[in-house]
Structure 1
């Protein structure tokens, strides 16, 4: 009687090679999706990620003015990422690793066009989603005056940084999101903690995330505190560049480098 195949070891960690192959396969599937599916998933992600700013603002209104108010309200920043990641919605900064790993394995013109299509559709859809959320919050007015003031208060640090500082602060944000994507296959029931820990680091560090930052920017634009052009150029463009550098150039290259000699 032939020997039965070995059973998998419970709770054994997934190897780096297996993680790479999982993320690479996810990236290939995402790039093959119809444009309409990517678009509506991206809009939904933009609306959902806006709850990070809403949750931060709501915590701000309920916490006393004390030295520990900011570290506690920063947990609100994690809410939108939990909704987006566990809801499998299209978030641009996740795609800085999922779409890039297939490109590193097979660099050609078609792969470059696919990633350009994916990034452009998802990013524009994300920004439209945050604009819808900001408009609903400010103009339609679901929030009370105190809550709206709190949303503006937690968003104002966005305007305090210079162009280069925002770019530099976008690098660790992109790195942490890519690290979150890389760790999720090993989470196995602890996914929410992986998401919370990595995104809390973005919040507590004051790092710049282009999509969450767009919700903050649109709220301040609608409040008349900054011009739209200034918000786009001084806040979102450098955050975008920093997120790409941190997620793609830094983390993805490191992730690919450690398995390059082990994959086909």
Structure 2
């Protein structure tokens, strides 16, 4: 009589059906929106910091690319930037642009409007602190002056391009960016391994960065750093080889001001990101895959705030 094998069956590599992915996404967003707020803020810090690191890599990749075909150079920069979202996804960090998809459990009435908006606010605050911290560290490290100030020149030209969009253009670019980011998160859910998840985010993120769409959290890093480089770098930076070769001076970047950074970019981009994530991805997939299932299951009975006995309120505190 043979002995039954005790070797476990290999894990399935089959990609879940879209409806299953939608359920998984909603459960993940519910968990994020109802976690203790202290942990929510901590995970938001790294969400901002890791996206900032992705932008650091992107800037580094763009030095000396002036002689390359513009499309190729931008795609290279976009792939480099995707490292940031890969770190966010694998680490479980909280990124505001992805957080907009808590609209899914909100539509299913599993969280209240207050819970959703509180999560968004905490995520924005934590992302901002994390992004600013990396920007300050990069500045103090002297990175903008490296390679004859070529690194800082990329920061300045990138920042100038961002703050010279019209308000409406920034808003629409924000919609498009978070459409791509949230689709990247959607695809990454199907991944079974770290490699799967990293590869899943690379394409959509390279698409949005290479095309010039606008991401609010990335800009929480780039715009403050651009202001620091413009206003706080000394004569040595402005005499760098790359700056001299480009024939530019500080006066050429007069458009880089705090007012332009905030009103002409961060505000409209953030609002656009909400539309791109909450409406074009979260509400769309909820309507396509979750609405009928939720209605049939009768789970639209009461908001989480009215279900104190279930412990949901405790998880959100």
Match of 2:159 in 1: 155
Matching residue within 190, 193, 218 for 1:212: 218
Match of 2:39 in 1: 37
Shift of 1:150: 2.8
Instruction: Tell me whether 1:26 sits opposite 2:28 in the alignment.
Output: yes
Cα-to-partner distance string for 1:45-104 (whole Å, 9 max, x where unaligned): 21111112211111112546221323322322212111111111110011111x111101
Give structure 1 stretches of 5+ with no counterpart.
Answer: 1-6
Matching residue within 268, 277, 282 for 1:252: 282
Shift of 1:142: 4.4
Shift of 1:155: 3.4
TM-score normalised by L of structure 2: 0.75
Match of 1:130 in 2: 131
Determine the C-alpha separation between the residues in 2 that align with 1:18 and 1:191: 17
Determine the C-alpha separation between the residues in 2 that align with 1:155 and 1:78: 19
Cα-to-partner distance string for 1:139-172 (whole Å, 9 max, x where unaligned): 4524523323333333332123111001011111
Determine the C-alpha separation between the residues in 1 that align with 2:36 and 2:261: 31
Give aligned pairs, total.
255
Match of 1:103 in 2: 106
Give the root-mean-square deviation of aligned CA atoms: 2.1
Give structure 2 stretches of 5+ with no counterpart.
Answer: 1-8, 232-252, 298-317
Sort the Cα spacing of 1:83 and 1:114 in 2 relative to 1 into closer, same or farther, 3 A: same
Cα-to-partner distance string for 1:87-131 (whole Å, 9 max, x where unaligned): 11110011111x111101017xx6111111100001111011111
Instruction: Tell me whether 1:230 sits opposite 2:234 in the alignment.
Output: no
Determine the C-alpha separation between the residues in 1 that align with 2:227 and 2:272: 22
